[in-house]
Amino acid sequence: MRRKVIQDLANTLCQMLVGWRMREDLETLAALPDGELIVDALAGTARHEQAGPVTLHIAGELQAWLTERAGARQIPIQDINSAEVTATIRTDRVATNRQQVVSFDFSVRSVIATEQCQYIGKLHEVHHWHSRAASQN
């Protein structure tokens, strides 16, 4: 059962990264170049492959959730060696006026490593984000 629980944690981390809690960070991501975003779900930190460390609300959310869920499932957090969520982010697949709309394409992979195994979750999802700028029409 422990194997299934940790696999579920890995799958859920991917879903959470692109879920509703990410909305607070979309403006920050829109200002970054396309590329990989790596979130360390144990440390609650994020970094962009080109821009370096990035402050994101979702990083702390993933850390808090992972700690709480592991505890609730009686998995000591220290039994998890690493928990990284990597998102390849593209904003150029749909041409938009970036002052008004940014189309995000997320390919997400999570890896939770323990002494025994690595648990991998994957997700591909497209989200559209609309800025607060008034339309020019």
* pLDDT tens digits along 82-125: 999 999 999 887 776 666 788 888 999 999 999 999 999 999 98
Q: Is the dihedral of CA 120, 63, 86, 92 positive or negative?
A: positive
3-state secondary structure of 47: strand
Identify which has the larger pLDDT, 120 or 133.
Answer: 120
Kindly list the domain boundaries of the chain, sorted by start residue.
2-130
* pLDDT tens digits along 53-64: 999 999 999 999
Are the C-beta atoms of residues 16 and 69 closer than 8 Å to each other?
no
